[in-house]
Structure 1
Amino acid sequence: MDRPLSLQHYKAGMLLSGAGDALGYRNQLWEYNESGPEIHKELQELGGLKNITAELPDWPVSDDTVLHLATAEGLATGVSQLKPGSEGGYRVAYNPDGTGCGAAMRSMCIGLRYPRPEQLSSLVAVAVETGRMTHPHPTGFLGAVASALFTAYAVQRRPMASWGVGLVMEACPVALEFVKSRGCAVEECVRDWGYFSEKWQWYLDLRGLASGTGPAIWPDQYGPAERDEAYKSFSLSGWAGRSGHDAPMIALDALLGAGSDWEELMSRAGFHGGDSDSTAVIACCCWGLLYGLEGVPQGNHKNLEYRDRLENSAEELYRLSH
């Protein structure tokens, strides 16, 4: 992690986000399997992660990567130059149920476009406005802020133990001021704002990261079965990773626990009884930015659906951010 970030890291981030998605999804079979231990058993029956070639028709990417790619290509071709809110034509009505992870799972690329600390306000503005096009509840669109922020932190090589504190203490207040400044559904957003930050503070307390320094505190036993239960405790309604706050939370939990071990990252972020592709797509993007493709079996990414487009968008985002 002490190596300077290169174009190859950007490519690895975009590519592995798609690979993690395809692996965690397994053509719907694992996304909707509610048992982490069962998924791990099936993984071993397949010969382990190193034996999987993630390619069509059996290992397509999910809508997570399709939407992430669309966001990335939009950022690379000038959509970010639009003035959010000036016409209001793309606004959606406030929806108290708009808490899902759909904004979080597609927003990692925003952090690649605005990776520098001094670009935080731009990162937040784009994440909020693109996020609430579909997820107007703060729990939903703040997930977009979290995913974008974590990839920016990965580019910055910011210590991972401080990422959660940065989200709660730095980015969320900027987001709140931005929402107030736009004048759209301000009353509803302020009313429903607290859950996201409060749940994240709960998580930071749980892991001993409230001061922004590590190491993280882990349970004595934290295998697939224990993680299923822990991830449910992160969740809004019992479906782990389904919401805007806990998809990036599980991703960060996996990154903290896995270090530079790709198989361990996928075990934690991609093979669990929740929304496994959505947590993997976030975690694996950050992991690729940190570690590149080192230690990743070639079959996991070599023939991945949309590989060329993912790498091309990484090149454009790298050029725009430098």
Structure 2
Amino acid sequence: MLTITTSSLDAEWILFPHSGGVGPGASAPYNPAVTTSISPADRILGCLIGGAVGDALGFQVEFQSWPQIEREFGPAGVTELRRNRISDDTQMTLFTAEGLLEAVEGEEVASVRRAYLRWYKTQNEYLPPMGAKGLAAQPWLYDRRAPGNACLSGLRQGGEGRVNPDSKGCGTVMRSAPFGLLHSPTDAYELAEQCSAITHGHPTAGSSAGAFAMITAHLLRGETVQKAVSHAMLHLRRTLDRSETIDALQAAYELAGNVPPGPNTCERLGQGWVAEEALAIAVYCLLGTGDVRGALTASVSHDGDSDSTGAILGNLLGAAYGHAALPPEWASQVEGRETIAGLAETIGQAQG
């Protein structure tokens, strides 16, 4: 069994026998400069557009079984973006970013809650109301795209306190990349964990959202994918409490070292409906291959919550390798690209 230890972070290492290149599975020799030379602006844009691309790829087949996907797209899985529509995953990610950008220091959770309540209104109205500003003024965001029940019920209650205490759905993870784009790794973890409770009160939902935000923050700073994931795993191990999230990430790490990601190869990690499974599937595809297109295809070609696992992986790939690494025909046509790119630019300016 592969176990991550503190000493693992002391050097560049690759633990995957079938791997090489800038990420596992790539064909070129491993070269840290390939990732460290990418600009923060390209990583931010890549993270947000990549998440939308993965979301749109997966939204085409959400709720379908692998046999159904295979019949529709073929044995290679979802290799085409036939419909460019994003789901609630990208919608909520954008509102997370807007809430953080509007926040006064120390009031981030309250600001994100207000942003989520604005998103909730878009799910119950047909068009922006008079005087709407920001994302709430964008008519294309008013389409209801299979939002999660816990997100809706939690916000229906106002998002106060730890609502839905038994819910650990992946709705907290898929929206949490912006914490890593605007905050340090540790702060990103803490804020994502706290904001998870606005809709999902289960501790695993919080730790999974926090781990995702922390990995994103490390990638934004030029860490390799292996180190970024290891940092998050070590952070989760800071106490002796048993963690479903660390167990899921450990399983993803081990699978990535033995089975290259492909259509339905993530089956043993679950279906992605719950937080730790969605994160594990995305991390497995991130670590298991440096082929961005192949990773995205693998992340959505399975039974389960394909749009969420695709969105999470797309965020991570974009933060790791930048916008330029995304398949251009997908990145250029994804729904809402202009709005998403504008928000990415604002985040870059907020970073200084």
- In terms of mean alpha carbon deviation, does 266-275 or 196-205 score higher? 196-205
TM-score (norm 1): 0.74
CA distance in 2, matches of 1:268, 1:96: 32
Q: Percent identity?
A: 26
Q: Which shows bigger deviation, 62-71 or 139-148?
A: 139-148
- State the alpha-carbon separation in 2 of the partners of residues 83 and 269 from structure 1: 31
State the alpha-carbon separation in 2 of the partners of residues 156 and 306 from structure 1. Answer: 26
Structure 1 residues 53-107: Cα deviation after superposition (integer angstroms, max 9, x where no partner): 5xxxx4311110110011011112226641658xx98433454421111110000
Q: Which letter does structure 1 place at the counterpart of 2:320?
A: L
| Correspondence for 2:177 | 108
Residue identity matched to 2:174: M
Q: Does 1:200 align with 2:231?
A: no
Amino acid at match of 1:206: E
CA offset at residue 169 of structure 1?
Answer: 2.0
2:31 is aligned to none
1:59 aligns with 2:84: yes
Corresponding residue of 1:14: 48
Match of 2:174, SS state, is: helix
SS at match of 1:194: coil
Counterpart of 1:160 (choices 215, 219, 225) is 225
Structure 1 distance, partners of 2:78, 2:310, is 17
Helix, strand or coil: the match of 1:245?
helix
State the partner residue of 2:100: 75
* TM-score, scaled relative to structure 2: 0.68
Aligned with residue 227 of structure 1, among 243, 246, 266 = 266
Aligned equivalent of 1:217, options 257, 260, 270: 257
Return the alpha-carbon distance in structure 1 between the equivalents of residues 44 and 261 of structure 2: 31
Q: Tell me which residue corresponds to 1:282.
A: 312
Gapped regions of structure 1 (runs ≥ 5): 177-189, 208-215, 233-239
The answer as to whether partners of 1:164 and 1:204 remain within 8 angstroms in 2 is: no
**Residue in structure 1 matched with residue 147 of structure 2 by the alignment:** none
Measure, in 2, the Cα distance between the counterparts of 1:217 and 1:79. Answer: 43
SS in 1 for 2:275: coil
1:269 is matched with which residue? Answer: 299
Deviation, 1:204, is 6.1
CA shift at 1:223, angstroms? 4.1
Letter in 1 for 2:283: L
Match of 2:153 in 1: none
Greater than 4 Å deviation, 4+ residue runs: 44-48
Greater relative contact order (CA < 8 Å, ≥ 6 in sequence): 1
Contact preservation (8 Å) 1:80, 1:126: no
| Alignment CA distance shift 1:172-1:127 (3 Å) | farther
The answer to which of 274-283 and 157-166 deviates more is 157-166
Deviation of 1:258 (Å): 2.3
2:233–2:249 contact (8 Å) kept in structure 1:
yes
Q: What is the alpha-carbon root mean square deviation over aligned residues?
A: 3.0
Q: 1:122 to 1:292 in 2, by over 3 A?
A: closer
CA positional deviation for 1:288: 1.4
Q: Per-residue deviation at 1:133?
A: 0.5
Q: Which residue matches 1:123? A: 188
CA distance in 2, matches of 1:83, 1:227: 35
1:127-142 matches, within 5 Å, as 127-142=192-207
Deviation of 1:144 after TM superposition, in Å, equals 1.3
- Please tell me the residue identity of whatever aligns with 1:101: C
**Distance change >3 Å, CA 268–CA 223, structure 1 → 2:** closer
Q: Distance in 1 between matches of 2:92 and 2:159?
A: 17
Report Cα offsets for 1:135-169 as digits up to 9, x if no partner: 11111111210221121121122232233432232
Partner deviation per Cα, 1:205-239 (whole Å, 9 max, x = no partner)? 734xxxxxxxx5213x86424432x222xxxxxxx
CA distance in 2, matches of 1:131, 1:227: 25
Contact 1:131 1:141 in 2 (8 A): yes
User: Which amino acid in the other structure matches residue 336 of structure 2?
Assistant: Y
Q: Relative to 1, partners in 2 of residues 1:224 and 1:78: Cα closer, same or farther, differing over 3 Å?
A: same
1:271 CA displacement: 1.9
Count of residues in correspondence between the two structures: 272
Q: Secondary structure at the match of 1:125?
A: helix
Paired with 2:196 and 2:263, the residues of 1 have a C-alpha distance of 31
1:291 and 1:104 map into 2 onto residues whose CA distance is: 20
On the 8 A contact 1:143/1:245 being kept in 2, the answer is yes
- Contact 1:92–1:134 (CA under 8 A) maintained in structure 2: no
